[in-house]
């Protein structure tokens, strides 16, 4: 829950923080930062759209939803694209969500499994062993970490693209404001790639990452990540930037 501005200590007062999330998803993070006194610079570097196949593979898989023992969803974007199919079935496969925000995006359906460590590795670590069928709805360009982990547990895994991320070219004015910032928040590997595409490998602003997979992508691109969130969530990302600013 985002603290009320009147109650939250302004630990980020005077700090300029860049948010690179898609335009229609940036405001919840911006609100958290503003409540702590920060100036939130909205600089969308990615946008979310249909996968290359226009969602045909996912639609076909959801049409066979009752054939699966588990439906696994890896982001709120994926949740939005499977919610109607889940709602249409009074019963169906058990549902696993990679994190709390993803589970909340399924409402009114409850997730049967949400890991404490909110990433693909965390979900694979708590997923049960089995020999049935699992459908994973994830980004088109997502890594195979989760699918491979579930296959290692004995499951037959089918992966369907739920959406695709594409880079957005920022305005010159937005790039100037971002360049003067204290920190840039990267919430996905796609955002890290888009940052380097627009800004190159930069020393400033300092990079704060939402989790290990994003940090790994950033590092492969040559970016130095100064803080990696321990909890792969918006709250975890905010906590990471607070910790960074407290020491710099």
Q: Is the pLDDT of residue 118 over 90?
A: no
Across 23-50, average pLDDT: 94
Mean of all residue pLDDT scores within the chain:
91
Distance of CA 203 to the CA centre of its chain: 24
pTM comes to: 0.83
Residue 1 confidence class, pLDDT cut points 50, 70, 90: very low
Q: How many residues does the chain have?
A: 248
Cα separation, 105 vs 110, whole angstroms: 9
In the chain, what percentage of residues exceed pLDDT 90? 75
Determine the Cα–Cα distance for residues 67 and 175; give it in Å rounded to an integer: 48
CA proximity to 50, closest of 188, 173, 164, 183: 164
Ordered strands of the 46-49 beta sheet: 46-49, 156-167, 133-139, 70-73, 94-97
Using only C-alpha atoms, the chain has a radius of gyration, in whole angstroms, of 19
Do residues 75 and 142 touch, judged by C-beta distance below 8 A? no
Distance CA 225, CA 189 (A): 12
Residue 105 predicted with pLDDT over 80: yes
Q: Does residue 5 surpass a pLDDT of 70? A: no
User: Domains in the chain, please, with CATH?
Assistant: 16-45+168-246 (3.40.50.10090), 56-165 (3.40.50.10090)
Q: Is residue 239's pLDDT more than 90?
A: yes
């Amino acid at each position: 829950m985002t603290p009320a501005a009147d109650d939250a200590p302004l630990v980020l007062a005077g700090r300029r923080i860049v948010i690179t999330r898609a335009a229609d998803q940036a405001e919840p993070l911006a609100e958290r930062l503003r409540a702590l006194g920060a100036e939130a610079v909205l600089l969308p570097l990615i946008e979310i759209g249909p996968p290359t196949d226009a969602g045909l593979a996912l639609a076909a898989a959801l049409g066979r939803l009752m054939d699966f023992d588990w439906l696994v969803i890896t982001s709120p974007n994926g949740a939005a694209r499977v919610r109607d199919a889940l709602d249409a079935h009074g019963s169906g496969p058990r549902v696993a969500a990679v994190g709390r925000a993803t589970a909340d995006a399924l409402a009114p359906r409850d997730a049967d499994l949400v890991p404490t460590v909110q990433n693909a590795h965390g979900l694979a670590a708590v997923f049960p062993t089995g020999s049935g069928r699992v459908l994973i709805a994830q980004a088109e360009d997502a890594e195979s970490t989760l699918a491979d982990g579930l296959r290692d547990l004995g499951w037959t895994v089918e992966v369907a693209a739920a959406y695709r991320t594409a880079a957005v070219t920022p305005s010159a004015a937005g790039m100037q404001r971002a360049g003067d910032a204290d920190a840039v928040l990267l919430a996905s590997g796609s955002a890290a790639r888009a940052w380097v595409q627009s800004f190159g490998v930069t020393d400033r602003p300092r990079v704060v990452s939402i989790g290990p997979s994003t940090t790994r992508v950033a590092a492969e691109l040559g970016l130095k990540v100064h803080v990696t969130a321990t909890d792969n969530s918006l709250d975890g990302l905010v906590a990471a930037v607070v910790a960074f600013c407290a020491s710099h």
